[in-house]
Structure 1
Amino acid sequence: MNVSSHRAATLPQPSPANEPTKDSAGGVSSAPGASPKRPKDRSPKRKSKWRYVRRTLYVLVALAIIVPTTAFVISYSQAEVPRPSDMRVNQVATIFATDGTTVLSKVVPPEGNRTEVPISDVPEHVRNAMLSAEDRNFYQNRGFSVTGFFRAARDNIQGKESAGGGSTITQQYVKNALVGSDRSVSRKWRELVISAKMAREWSKDDILAAYLNTIYYGRGAYGIAAASKSYFGKPVGDLTVAEGAVLASVVRSPSSLDPELHSQELTARWNYVLDGMVEMGVLPSAERAANVFPPIIPTNQVGDENVARGPEGLIRTQVLNELRAAGISDQDLNTGGLQITTTIDPKAQQAAIDSVTSIFEGEPAELRTAVVSIDPRTGAVRAYYGGADGAGFDFAQAPLQTGSAFKVFGLVAALKDDIPLSAMYSSAPLTVGSVSISNVGGETCGTCTIAQALKQSLNTSFYRLTRSMENGPQKIADAAHEAGIPENIPGLPGKSLSQDNGIPEDGIVLGQYQVRPIDMASAYATLAASGTYHAPHFVQRVVTADGTVLLDRLPEPGEQRIEPAVAENVTQAMLPIASYSRGHGLAGGRPSASKTGTAQYGDTGLNKDAWMVGYTPSLSTAVWIGTEQAQAITDLYGSSIYGSGLPSDIWKKTMDGALEGTDVEKFPFPDPIGGQAGVPAYSAPAKPAPSTSAAPPPPPPLIVLPPPPPMRQIEILPGITIPIPG
């Protein structure tokens, strides 16, 4: 054997890198350059499960604190809380007569009859009762309840119907006024944030006042003022401790604590509130023991202010239309607590109502009437009766045929054409084409002045007057428009006082076309004001609950539309008519200018519309009588109604009542037109005079037309008939 080979075979071989080797003692040693290795742990190598639990709990607690806090801080910084003065809750608007104290009507917002009152007007014991019922720590807390929030969150997640509750008064107000009442965590979160911020920016009294004026108390009553009226029929300042406790009790659940259906539950809640007041130290025990449950107005006796019951409801409608036209929005109306002062004179309004009531007593039930009185110097509507039902049809706004009351505008047109009151016309029957014209009852004056023809309301004379003027019908329409008859009347298609939007027919002078009672009162008022037109209006002043003036109508000079001499000569011609018309002159000999009118009901020989319109220098009143369905109108004796009958009765009684105790005013005497000032001393051509005196000027030539061929005549207006063959 080779020696070298033997050595190679017997020498120990080096261990591979990092492979452990045994030492001389038989132990294991690490390879050169390798890190020493710890002995193998013979027990299980695992982390403690409690360490994971602890760490998880730490994380969850941190998240439960940090995340909500961060979210709250961010939400708080971004939340916008209005100032108390910026909050506008729905409130009742009150409509007053011109005296500023007589309530005509109210405008109730959709959410109820809320009237805002300052906290100083709410007795302290009523405030304390509310705190006892809803938030006994109100003046100490920060405006929110964290436990209430988490309870609401839990209940909403679980889908409970009773989710909510536990809110402070501040939270309840924020919910009602700002964030709504839907059941959701996000809504509750906003309520919490805004409540916290509001508690820092508002005073506690401001929050409590806003809450008392906002919450719902049942019976359609929103706010403490409305609730006091609804439950006890008294203002807030007169509430007793016991009554205040009742109102504080029902707030929790108005339906389930209704005094008529759930008196036992309400009484229990009432006792809870009073006991709480004792615990709060705001009600002595002896006084608590002396309190008994107070009587409450039955529901069927609670008035609904949103229902218009009388004629004033129609005034309210006109007021609302006028407010909107003036730019006062529905939001202003519903949230401003508006105090609306109208032009309605309580004395004149009552006179109109009393007149209708007394004159209509015993008359047929189907009769309807409208009465409108206007101040000629301002256009202010002083009395307004469009019907007994405030929620029904308004006849003062209804287009109706005026009959002979329209002859006045024919006289205006004639005077503008320089035709004097002394101009004479025949009153004999006449026929124009196929139309025959005569006078009611065969009335005649022969040939007489147009002033006398107006007094006797002679159709034939005024028909001849119209045809004697160039383009007479249009001139009459223009004169009426100048006086105040609108060119566009609501409810009538096209232009008023026209034939199919074209030129009017000759029958315009006899009241062929339709006009509203309010328009007739306004147009006659222009004549009373010597030709100066003032637009009729109902609203004088509008002020919000905090004193902001939204509208204040200042005196206006009006618009001179008709020459004073023309208007004043017309007035002189109208002066004798009231007394001539069955003795309807005003009390005490007070001068008045007036005209009656009647419109025929087809060919029945009866009437369907009857009018009396007249004025003094300070009041113009139009009265109409008819029916809803344009039927024949008869009185309790079955006689046909004319303008000189029931309408004149109502007119006189209304005017006398409204003007009683006022100065007796006279009309100005006019300047002459066509050489004649006022009504001439004669009414017919003078008889032949003695040779020593000059004869009067001859009358203008008469318009005489050949008689019609034999035909059957049908009367379509008083004195106007049309032929039917056969």
Structure 2
Amino acid sequence: MGRPDTKAKKRGIRRLFTWKKVLGTFLLLGLVGIGGLYTVYLLVPVPTANAEATMQSNIYKYSDGTILARTGEINREIVGLDKIPLPVQHAFVAAENKTFYKDNGVDIKGTTRAAWNTLTGKGKQGGSTITQQYVKNFYLSQDQTATRKLKEMVIAVKVDEEMSKNDILAGYINTSYYGRSAYGIQAAARSYYGTDAARLTTAQGAYLASLLQAPNQYDWTSASATGRKLVEDRWNYVLDNMVEMGWLPAAERAGLKFPVPREPKPLPGMEGQTGYIVEAANQELMRQGVSEEDIKAGGWTFTLNIDRQKQKDLVAAVDKQLEDKIDRKGDKKAATVQAGATSVDPKTGAVVAMYGGVGATEHWMSNATRRDYQPASTFKPIVLASALDNDAETQDGREIGLNTIYDGTSRRPVVGSPIDFAPENEDDRSYGPVTVQKATNSSINSVYAQMIVDVGPEKTKKTALALGMKDGQDFGATPAMSLGTMGASTLDMAGAYATLDNHGKKVNPAVVRSAQHSDRQVDMVKQTGEQVISRRAADTVTQAMTGVVANGSGFRAAGDYQAAGKTGTSENNRSAWFVGYTPELVTAVALFGEDTSGKIAEQVTLTDAINPGRANGGKTPALIWGDYTERALNGGSDARFDLETEENTGGYGEPTWTTGPTETEEPTEEPTEEPTTAPATTATTPPAPTTTAATTPPPPTGKPTTTPPPTQEPTREPTNTATVQPPDTGLTDGGGGGGGDDENGTTPGLSTQQPR
């Protein structure tokens, strides 16, 4: 027999822990637990998305759809579930959560097991549903703690109530990390298989779904033998589950082979021309009303007008004609040379190629879009266009056309202007009476200075802005404007010349073709528009500039194509230009002298930097232009200008008072911007003007040739043909360029090197 006190204790314990009391206690704890969970359910809201979950990269594409660049801290492009093939969707469900379409967002058994193992130190484990993983990616952090796990469960239930299964699945697929710095299935599809998510096969989708368990370990190209076996096993597991769920026919499953991904490629960076193009696109978008903050937020797909092959052609032309000929590292003068270019399709306004400099990571400012250098004599065709469009007359009442005779005497004071102006021609050369065609071919300053007075500087500026040039503080309506003393970019000049090439219909050069976001898109400005100058005026200017290429200062740009163009060299040789076009392509090429060795970049002369003497527009810029144009046109073109003019002189029918090289004879000396060989006939015997309507000049058959000298005296007298002495005092309007003191501190406009 037991002791009485022991029996009493046992009876006391039984009374304390009766089955009713134990059951009641469990029920009470259960109610408290349920109440606690309900309280937590009520108190835990669905938070806003975390910053990383909504971050996306911006995608910049060439015109053919291939990727130029991705920008942003997160390589992600969100795509809708409608862009993901159904078998690929099923692969993710089969890999992670077969009950996804039936559960309420949580898996109690799996989550409890994972939480218990984490709390008891047995390792951090998963066990979450797709909804829970989406909640973790989109709303919470990646930390695996009991508190975060409880929040995850509660929010998952709420999200499952508020969102459709398709939206949850899409969110999960788009927020998950796949390795290779790829977030979301679109970035993963491109990184692993070089395709869009919409084109993924079932086998490829199953591999990407398998990756999510261990992205870095399961990357086939870098995985160990064990890692490869594990990911292949998981790939098979996913496909088998798809068969089990009725989502994949067994016969099709049997025929699938493991889809080995391609080697990883670095994300397109901002090196080379890429950074310049991306920045030009962003600036254009901001002008269309897209804020800088909106662009930085990401999620955009920008399809550009940049033609991938023409872009390569332009870079190759600059390399061959400039970079391969100079030593930037060993020659301080050569290091100051900056090249820029823009190429435009005149029919569509598409910017098909841009050259911003040696590389965006080496020289941050784009030489294609900068406006701090003068376009010089490439502005002269715009003066002529304004004269023709406004039916302007000379001081003695003669209508201005290509046959109109002007006095080409160097330093000849303009007549009819309240502002004194007497520009020097290059090398102080005087030509005497010349036609406008000859003045265009040889870029004679004194003729165009008088012409802008005849048409009116204000009217000329109005024409320039209508053609597409941009106004600025240095765009003064003075006679000096005839020499291109304002600032302009290669993009500006390509646009203005494209309007001339397009028969006077406005061309708005555009880098961006389309801008799309997941929830909106931007309506881009129309790239071609209204008639801004008459077709007769535009076509006559084109005709005049064919003579520049055939027989004038731009002869180095000639090739197996019909071309029109104009050279330009600014005061002190700080910039040198060639802007020209064929019927299919307009391109502006410029060289700028810039010393970046100091704290502040400084404009410097190009003289002796590329070749001995001046680096004028008829040399390297024209060579780059011709090289690029030949490449871009696949060696040449049979296209011809369709011109409607009232002029009969000019273009490829230019008479012999022009002085380009013959077909069999190269110049014996490096020519200046206008050829320096003696004219075939004197400047005082130009051909008689004609009133017969012009036909389109015939194309060149090779290099330009000279034709027999004219035999008829002119029938119209030139304006103020008397030669005058240069003025004794400085120019009052900024002279021939610069708009300020030159490097030697002299009065503006009295430089020994006049702009061309």
Question: How far is 1:397 from its partner?
Answer: 0.8
Q: Give the direction of change, closer, same or farther, for the CA distance of 1:151–1:389 in structure 2 (3 Å limit).
A: farther
Residue deviations 1:135-164 (CA, integer Å, cap 9, x gap): 4654664431335656787899x8999777
Q: 1:325 to 1:582 in 2, by over 3 A?
A: closer
In 1, Cα distance between equivalents of 2:271 and 2:454: 50
The corresponding residue for 2:703 is none
1:645 is displaced (CA, Å) by: 0.9
Superposed displacement of residue 596, structure 1: 0.1
Does residue 480 (structure 1) correspond to residue 464 (structure 2)? The answer is yes
Is residue 499 of structure 2 the alignment partner of residue 526 of structure 1?
yes
1:63 matched to 2:29? The reply is no
Residue 393 of structure 1 is matched in structure 2 by: 365
Greater alpha carbon shift after TM alignment, 63-72 vs 620-629? 63-72
Deviation per residue, 1:403-457 (Å, 9 max, x gap): 2222223334444333413041232335799987432234432222333222111
Q: What residue identity is the alignment partner of 2:138? A: A
Q: CA deviation at 1:321?
A: 3.0
Q: Aligned to 2:628, which of 650, 654, 660?
A: 654
Deviation by residue 1:668-720 (Cα, 9 ceiling, x = unmatched): 23347xx999999897555999xxx9982332224765445699xx9988996
Q: Hey, what's the Cα distance between the residues in 2 that align with 1:133 and 1:338?
A: 30
Matches within 5 A, 1:333-412: 339-346=301-308, 348-360=310-322, 362-364=324-326, 365=328, 366=335, 367-390=337-360, 392-399=364-371, 400-412=373-385
Q: Which runs of no fewer than 5 residues in structure 2 stay unpaired?
A: 1-11, 329-334, 395-399, 596-602, 658-682, 689-711, 743-747
Change (3 A) 1:160 1:599: farther
Q: Following superposition of structure 1 onto structure 2, how do residues 473-552 of structure 1 map, counting pairs within 5 Å?
A: 473-488=457-472, 495-498=473-476, 504-543=477-516, 550-551=522-523
Q: Please report how far the alpha carbon of residue 176 of structure 1 lies from its aligned counterpart in structure 2 after TM superposition.
A: 1.4
The question of whether the paired residues in 1 share the 8 Å contact of 2:393 and 2:454 is answered with no
Quote the Cα distance in structure 2 between the aligned partners of 1:173 and 1:368: 51
CA distance in 1, matches of 2:547, 2:687: 27
Cα distance change of structure 1 residues 343 and 294 upon mapping to structure 2, 3 Å threshold:
closer
Tell me the CA shift for residue 350 of structure 1.
Answer: 4.0
Q: Which moved more, 1:646-655 or 1:209-218?
A: 209-218
- Could you tell me which residue of structure 1 aligns to residue 587 of structure 2? 621
Indicate the SS of the match to 1:515. Answer: coil
3-state SS, counterpart of residue 183 of structure 2:
coil
Q: How far is 1:209 from its partner?
A: 4.8
Alpha-carbon distance in structure 2 between the residues aligned to 1:688 and 1:532: 32
Q: Indicate which of 445, 453, 477 corresponds to 2:431.
A: 445
Secondary structure class of the residue paired with 2:590: strand
Contact 2:503 2:538 in 1 (8 A): yes
Unaligned runs of 5+ in 1: 1-44, 83-87, 489-494, 499-503, 602-606
Q: Secondary structure at the match of 1:721?
A: coil
- Structure 1 residues 625 and 411, CA, compared in 2 at 3 Å: closer, same or farther? same
Report the Cα offset of residue 238 of structure 1. Answer: 6.8
* 1:612 Cα offset (Å): 0.5
Q: 2:242 & 2:435 partners in 1: Cα distance? A: 91
Alpha-carbon distance in 2 for matches of 1:201, 1:497 = 60
- Alpha carbons of structure 1 residues 255 and 66: separation in structure 2 relative to 1, 3 Å: same
Distance 1:218 1:695 in 2: 79
- What amino acid maps onto 1:172 in structure 2? Q
The CA deviation at 1:647 is 0.8
Report the Cα offset of residue 582 of structure 1.
5.6
Larger Rg, first or second structure (1 or 2): 1
C-alpha distance in 1 between matches for 2:445 and 2:16: 115
> Partner of 1:698 in structure 2?
717
Asked whether the 8 Å contact 2:411–2:724 carries over to 1, the reply is no
Tell me the residue number matched to 1:219.
180
1:355–1:650 contact (8 Å) kept in structure 2: yes
Count of residue pairs the alignment pairs up: 637
The 1:297/1:427 distance shift into structure 2, 3 A limit, reads same
1:664 aligns with 2:634: no
Distance (whole Å) between structure 1 residues aligned to residue 125 and residue 715 of structure 2: 98
Q: Quick one: which of 717, 721, 724 aligns to 2:750?
A: 721
Aligned to 2:409: 427
Q: Return the alpha-carbon distance in structure 2 between the equivalents of residues 635 and 199 of structure 1.
A: 70
Does structure 2 conserve the Cα–Cα contact (< 8 Å) formed by 1:94 and 1:103?
no
- 1:303 — aligned with what? 266
Tell which deviates more after alignment, 119-128 or 184-193. Answer: 119-128
Residue equivalent to 1:15: none
CA positional deviation for 1:90: 5.3
Aligned match of 2:73 = 110
1:187–1:327: structure 2 CA closer, same or farther, 3 Å change rule? farther
Question: In 2, distance between residues paired with 1:297 and 1:553?
Answer: 39
User: Separation in 2 of the partners of 1:116 and 1:688?
Assistant: 68
Quote the residue 2:680 is aligned against. none
Q: 1:521 to 1:81 in 2, by over 3 A?
A: closer
What's the RMSD between the two structures over aligned residues? 5.2
1:271-330 residue CA offsets vs partner (Å, 9 max, x unmatched): 773685598596999x999999998777xx53113x134424432322233334434568
Counterparts of 1:639 and 1:187, CA distance in 2 = 73
In the alignment, the residues of structure 1 paired with residue 447 and residue 478 of structure 2 have an alpha-carbon distance, to the nearest angstrom, of: 16
* 2:301 matches 1:315: no
CA distance in 2, matches of 1:346, 1:263: 38
Query: 2: distance between equivalents of 1:694 and 1:402?
Result: 36
Of stretches 146-155 and 389-398 in structure 1, the one that deviates more from structure 2 is 146-155
- The residue correspondences of 1:30-69 to structure 2 (distance < 5 A) are 58-69=27-38
Q: State the TM-score, normalized to the length of structure 1.
A: 0.71
* Partners of 1:103 and 1:379 in 2: CA distance: 21
Q: 1:333 to 1:464 in 2, by over 3 A?
A: closer
Q: Which amino acid in structure 2 is aligned with residue 611 of structure 1?
A: W
Aligned equivalents of 1:638 and 1:160: distance in 2?
79
Q: CA deviation at 1:64?
A: 1.3
Alpha-carbon offset, residue 96 of structure 1: 3.8
Measured after TM superposition, the shift of residue 571 of structure 1 is: 2.8
Matched, 1:455 2:413: no
- Deviation of residue 509 (structure 1)? 1.9
Cα-to-partner distance string for 1:546-583 (whole Å, 9 max, x where unaligned) = 9x76537667532x333444333333322200122363
Segment of structure 1 superposing worse, 115-124 or 478-487: 115-124
- Distance change >3 Å, CA 132–CA 267, structure 1 → 2: farther
Write the letter of the residue equivalent to 2:367: F
